[in-house]
Amino acid sequence: MFLYEWPKIDRIQKKEKMAFVALTAMGCLLAILVIYYPEMSSPTQWVERIYRPLGKLLEQ
């Protein structure tokens, strides 16, 4: 995916390239973590744990 998309981004678009590199690196890191720690909770569960108290406050 990286080799396919990288040439399509113009040289002028430095911010887009940096964002692309950062998101690709984070995706690779998460994939490696899942391989070594398959019992790790998913990012969706992390978000749920963080925002559950806020949701309870808003329901009242």
The reported pLDDT for the residue numbered 34 is: 85
Query: Which residue in this structure is represented by tokens 């973590």?
Result: 33
pTM score, whole prediction: 0.62
The reported pLDDT for the residue numbered 25 is: 93
The reported pLDDT for the residue numbered 2 is: 82
Torsion sign (Cα): 37, 4, 22, 19: negative
The reported pLDDT for the residue numbered 29 is: 92
Name, in order, each residue with C-beta under 8 angstroms of 9's C-beta and a sequence gap of 6 or more.
16, 17, 20
The reported pLDDT for the residue numbered 59 is: 81
pLDDT block averages, 10 residues each, the chain of length 60: 84 88 91 88 84 84
